[in-house]
């Protein structure tokens, strides 16, 4: 089997600025590691502020021409990107697994998911519409003209290194905006490969720029302070999102924020338990649990608690753990040692407060950043894991006895990104849909992400929507013209 790094030549592990692949201004680099082994797999350019501003020069310089590019041409370039990603799915997936740790099957699914954003927004690019109407008082006409916001800065996370960038770049380009992406330091390689693919299909220089850096705060702050930047989109923690929102306020930037989650998954006594178990496994273990919409708290109604918990623990315990590139692996490595330590600490805290571990719960010895699938019961309300985004393969199961009780517990969080409900009673499902403080809800299914659906949260889980028709609106300003017509 070829080395996954073969798909990204050394000259393309540098900064993508304008039409060039260039070293950082000071020549600095940083190491990218395989989280399953801890070994260095590549060195990439470590940008400084001057490099970020050079990328903004390129994005600003390309803005007028890209905005004037016919929507059909922009659409065709996005479609070409979709086809290239689909054709090269296997090699891209192997690179994702190598730098991020997820099993290869999960990485393949991410490539398909990310590619779909390019296909979806290729279709949306030719459907951006204004309106023309007669003013109610007569005498003039109301004309609305949608226009691209301008150069956009994207800060993307490590857990979906292709899809999170695609979810931002595709609608921005469809709307006529140019972009600068700052990928996570742990997983910059996939975004660099995406930039290379978009270069190959003919996206013009300066439209897609990628700046890799370990000095994210300094570089991003400089970009947000520059008046040429007109849009910020960030996916990551609520804590960092608050900081970026404060910085974006100085220039009154348009912002899209997809922040932290603390999803409740509710299994009612009338649920089909086979469906609920399948859904819980997906909602909890997709992407090794390293997902903002992962089921963080599993509430099971008392009459089915014992059966559901036993079957769920059996399925969790049967999952195999290992290097994501190895055959038969269900659970790959977590992103870094700090993540493993955090999860281990949350489990220890819950146990200290009276929780019991049914399966897993012990950090393994040896190299790599691994943690076993873990199920806990008798988790008290004051356990830290119930108020913290676990971001790993750990599932606390909590009993409930009434809908009012579980709604109160599910909503008792600053977050409101996603939730899941399993019931065969339509009226009950609709009551949960109306009662849960969440931006997204899975009813009898554990997978809710879809490029054609609006992804986003409420409360402190974010601002704005990604995907769907609403997704392109985040990259459009609207000019209203009053046209005199006596």
Residues 6+ apart with CB under 8 A from 61: 18, 206
- Write out the two tokens for 107: 């990485």
Q: CA angle at residue 454 from 450 to 456, to 5 degrees?
A: 105
Looking at 237-332, which runs of residues are DSSP E strands?
A: 254-258, 263-267, 295-301
Residues 394, 52: Cα–Cα separation, whole Å: 38
Of the residues 152, 177, 268, 292, only one is catalytic, namely 292
Residues 467, 450: Cα–Cα separation, whole Å: 7
Q: In 3-state terms, what secondary structure has residue 201? A: helix
Q: Phi and psi at residue 141, in whole multiples of 5°?
A: -115, 150
Its sign, for the CA torsion 62, 67, 70, 73, is: positive
Helix residue ranges per DSSP H, 254-333: 273-285, 302-317
Helix %, strand %, coil % for the chain, to 5? 45, 20, 35
Q: How far apart are the first and last CA of the chain?
A: 74
Residues 52, 138: Cα–Cα separation, whole Å: 50
Contact 368, 38 (CB under 8 A): yes
Residues 348, 51: Cα–Cα separation, whole Å: 43
Of the residues 258, 290, 389, 474, only one is catalytic, namely 258
Distances (CA, A) of 249 to 178, 239, 265, 423: 21, 16, 35, 43
Q: Phi and psi at residue 360, in whole multiples of 5°?
A: 75, -145
Residues 72, 122: Cα–Cα separation, whole Å: 8
Is residue 258 annotated as a catalytic residue, yes or no?
A: yes
Its sign, for the CA torsion 381, 383, 386, 387, is: positive
Distances (CA, A) of 27 to 14, 73, 306, 316, 352: 10, 37, 59, 46, 49
Name the residues annotated as catalytic.
Answer: 258, 292
């Amino acid at each position: 089997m070829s080395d996954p790094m073969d798909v990204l030549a050394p000259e393309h592990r540098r900064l993508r600025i304008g039409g060039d692949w260039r070293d950082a201004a000071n020549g600095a680099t940083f190491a990218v590691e395989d989280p399953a082994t801890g070994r260095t797999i590549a060195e990439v350019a470590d940008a400084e502020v001057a490099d970020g501003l050079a990328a903004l020069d390129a994005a600003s310089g390309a803005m007028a021409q890209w905005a004037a590019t016919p929507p059909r041409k922009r659409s065709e370039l996005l479609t070409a990107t979709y086809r290239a990603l689909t054709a090269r799915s296997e090699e891209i997936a192997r690179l994702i697994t190598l730098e991020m740790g997820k099993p290869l099957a999960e990485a393949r699914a991410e490539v398909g998911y990310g590619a779909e954003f390019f296909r979806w927004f290729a279709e949306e690019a030719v459907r951006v519409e204004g309106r023309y109407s007669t003013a109610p008082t007569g005498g003039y006409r109301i004309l609305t003209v949608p226009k691209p916001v301008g150069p956009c800065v994207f800060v993307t996370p490590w857990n979906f290194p292709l899809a999170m960038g695609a979810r931002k770049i595709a609608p921005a380009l469809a709307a006529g905006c140019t972009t600068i992406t700052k990928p996570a330091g742990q997983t910059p390689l996939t975004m660099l490969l995406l930039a290379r693919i978009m270069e190959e299909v003919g996206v013009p220089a300066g439209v897609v720029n990628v700046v890799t850096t370990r000095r994210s705060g300094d570089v991003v702050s400089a970009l947000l302070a520059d008046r040429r930047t007109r849009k910020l989109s960030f996916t990551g923690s609520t804590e960092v999102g608050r900081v970026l929102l404060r910085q974006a306020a100085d220039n009154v930037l348009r912002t899209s924020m997809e922040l932290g989650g603390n999803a409740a998954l509710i299994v009612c006594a009338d649920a089909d338990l086979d469906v609920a178990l399948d859904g819980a496994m997906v909602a909890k273990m997709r992407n090794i649990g390293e997902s903002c919409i992962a089921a963080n708290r599993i509430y099971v109604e008392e009459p089915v608690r014992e059966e559901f918990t036993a079957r769920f623990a059996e399925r969790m315990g049967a999952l195999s753990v290992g290097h994501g590139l190895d055959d038969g692996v269900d659970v790959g490595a977590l992103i870094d040692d700090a993540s493993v330590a955090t999860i281990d600490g949350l489990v220890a805290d819950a146990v200290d407060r009276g929780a019991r571990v049914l399966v897993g719960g012990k950090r393994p010895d040896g190299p790599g950043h691994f943690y076993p699938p873990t199920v806990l019961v008798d988790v008290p309300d004051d356990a830290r894991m119930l108020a913290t985004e676990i971001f790993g393969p750990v599932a606390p199961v909590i009993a409930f006895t009434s809908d009012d009780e579980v709604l109160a517990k599910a909503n008792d969080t600053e977050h409101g990104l996603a939730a899941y409900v399993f019931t065969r009673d339509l009226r009950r499902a609709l009551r949960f849909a109306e009662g849960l403080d969440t931006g997204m809800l899975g009813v009898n299914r554990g997978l809710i992400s879809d490029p054609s659906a609006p992804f986003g949260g409420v409360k402190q889980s974010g601002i704005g929507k990604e995907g769907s028709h609403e997704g392109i609106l985040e990259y459009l300003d609207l000019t209203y013209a009053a046209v005199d017509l006596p």
